[in-house]
Structure 1
């Protein structure tokens, strides 16, 4: 018996020794390219904080193609003609009676630049704020600057799903991804976003003067000081306050922004792009390319343009080879002009610029009955476009029509879908011309199916 016990003991020890050095049994390895939240929330290094900042900028631009192409189609700024998949026409344009549903084409979790991607950026911003707050390598002013930057991006990103689902409401309490808060109405969501942006503004004030403590991409060239980032924050707040119909709030935010009535209209922070391993500009198409997939200028934009408008000459390239043509179940769609704003496939895309801010100033003054100031701002835009001073009516309704018209060309196909949102804000969706495609203009979208599935799962 003792011999057997000794033998079994020897085998057991040998087995322990064998498995202890078994080359097929691997220790758990944490992915160095995707570190856990816990690993960076507790005394992260400056290098780790830098990675989070650069990552936030990358997530900040993830919405660009989906929102630009889809929302631009909703507002009939452009068509995204795609012969490989006609749903980009039939579904996005509401042809053949198609209406949005919870599994609407092009807005799933994997490609959801209108919904999922913004929340990923919001989560990244929250992780950055938490990591910076607990990083011993950062000073308090450094933490304030980083928090202010993150909240500025966070506020911007929250506005995307809010305007996508509109009165269906969004979740604003998403700090715990496994236990998100309820959907709140559009107006409440906008008020929350204002709080986020105002907190970011206060953080940037607390950060004091000087440069941002870590590196930002070249998209923020000219805006990489704490004071300049505060100007970006106030610019985003001005856009938000227009959606909130807080016109004095628009003017107040503009006073702290980078608005310059005599400055470059294109000035502003941008989404950067580059050659691999970076990403190319997703809105760039080679002029006259022989393709059947391209974003093209909507025919009504060409038809309604003021003669001599420099924006038409500068933004729209008339193709000299065969037009881009796609045939759908309701007929052919033909694109004769393409976007010419991007000279190369690495061109940066501004996400808010001086031209928009001046138009927001005009809109706020018009809504406040301050006619002279509104016309003055309108004329800055008109003269830059080479079409001379405004000579139309000066009633509030006439001024708003003029401002919306100028926004249609000044902000054409910006990465936001301004015309769709503008028409909805002023109850003018019915004025968007669908005669060229026989489609429908949508007001809003339901929550994606994944959101409903999650609530059903938690409820059970």
Structure 2
């Protein structure tokens, strides 16, 4: 889909090197196995390595997506003392409309497609080997498609009206760019296929191992719950409340359960990567995602979410390299260590999706019940506002702002855009611009030109 080799062909399998089959003859590398060596008669060990590589790749989007989209939605400012472009451009101080070479956001587009490619290789490998049973084969494919659906949602939300490609199985002949709503429908189709396969696998044990990030979900039924949770997220983006409610029935939604429960990206010491959001509290930091002051100052007094998420520093975090000097006394304190896992969807979000779905379907009493679950957990008391759809949407977005703050899906930016409220995100402190979407990357545009001429 683009001339960037790493985007197109990276395969995390025993150190497989990136290659470009479009511009180079296929040359066997004596030091690294080829893709065909694992897509034909793969061993269980090779399948396991593909699964491990896929899980690892599936977290690569998180840092850039959270930092950039968190800045777009003014959840944070991303201070980078060494390069002012993170602040100047991401806040729209110096760029009012992102172009195809917009600084520092390539990972939002490229890394999810690397995971999609890896998932395609895993599916092919599982289909073309006789070392697994038919039921086991379904678990590999169901897991891979669940990851594909989630990964494709990342560039879809960033590109928005530009659309994305869903069909990228053949890089030389990729599918068309689908507008946002069609892309969401395509993502739902992939997720549905994965869910069906996981259900058809029955009660067998997974033939592969996942990291501790999937503890509690490391079975076909558990992965199916994760799949339906992601489908419910997509459904509210489609403004299909009934579909969201249907998906939630098969998810891990628990209105009376632990709000923090959910699957996670895991981190560790090298060769693993460290948690990219961990910073020593109170340290002299020059490069750091700095909580936006208004996030704290506009909270309801006593909100436990502020207590749990925000550390108040003795000295300010200051950035003077931008067009407008910025400062905040706040720091993210959710990460006790540099190996703390990062949840990528949690029961708290599912409760809020449940609330939104009930608003969309007109069941306002049940929506208020769900909202009150969140409010009670935050220790701010029950909802006392009007029982109307506009008032409850206001309340829902307010609660999502504080419950889902600075999580890797860019919730605040996406939420305000999908309710046509981007103009309500304040730029008072930085004097910047709120973007609607990112531009299609130059490499993607160049790929169509390349294909047309070869």
- Confirm or deny a common fold (TM above 0.5): yes
Q: Secondary structure at the match of 2:320?
A: strand
CA contact (8 A) 2:28 2:34 kept: no
2:287 maps to which of 289, 293, 302: 293
CA contact (8 A) 2:310 2:331 kept: yes
1:420 aligns to 2:413 (yes or no): yes
Kindly report which structure 2 residues correspond to 1:140-289, keeping only aligned pairs within 5 A, or say none.
140-289=134-283
Which whole-Å CA distance do the structure 2 matches of 1:442 and 1:53 have between them?
Answer: 36
Aligned to 1:31: 31
Q: Secondary structure at the match of 1:167?
A: helix
Q: Secondary structure at the match of 2:248?
A: helix
The structural deviation recorded for 1:458 is 1.6
Q: Deviations over 1:246-275 (max 9, x none)?
A: 110000000000011111100000000011
1:303 aligns to 2:301 (yes or no): no
CA contact (8 A) 1:247 1:364 kept: yes
1:363 maps to which of 343, 356, 361: 356
Which whole-Å CA distance do the structure 2 matches of 1:233 and 1:213 have between them?
Answer: 18
The structural deviation recorded for 1:29 is 4.2
1:385 maps to which of 371, 378, 385: 378
Cα gap change, 1:455 to 1:71, in 2 (>3 Å): same
Alignment: residue pair count: 427
Which whole-Å CA distance do the structure 1 matches of 2:181 and 2:248 have between them?
Answer: 21
Q: Secondary structure at the match of 1:358?
A: helix
Q: Deviations over 1:67-90 (max 9, x none)?
A: 000000000000111111010100
Superposed structure 1 runs of 4+ greater than 3 Å apart:
27-32
CA contact (8 A) 1:72 1:419 kept: yes
Larger Rg belongs to: 1
CA contact (8 A) 1:91 1:99 kept: no
1:333 maps to which of 326, 329, 346: 326
Aligned to 2:59: 61
For normalisation by structure 2, the TM-score amounts to: 0.93
Cα gap change, 1:294 to 1:329, in 2 (>3 Å): closer
Q: Secondary structure at the match of 2:94?
A: helix
The structural deviation recorded for 1:166 is 0.4
Which whole-Å CA distance do the structure 2 matches of 1:211 and 1:397 have between them?
Answer: 46
Which whole-Å CA distance do the structure 2 matches of 1:280 and 1:328 have between them?
Answer: 27
Aligned to 1:127: 121
Aligned-residue CA RMSD (Å)? 1.1
Q: Secondary structure at the match of 2:311?
A: strand
The structural deviation recorded for 1:329 is 4.6
For normalisation by structure 1, the TM-score amounts to: 0.91
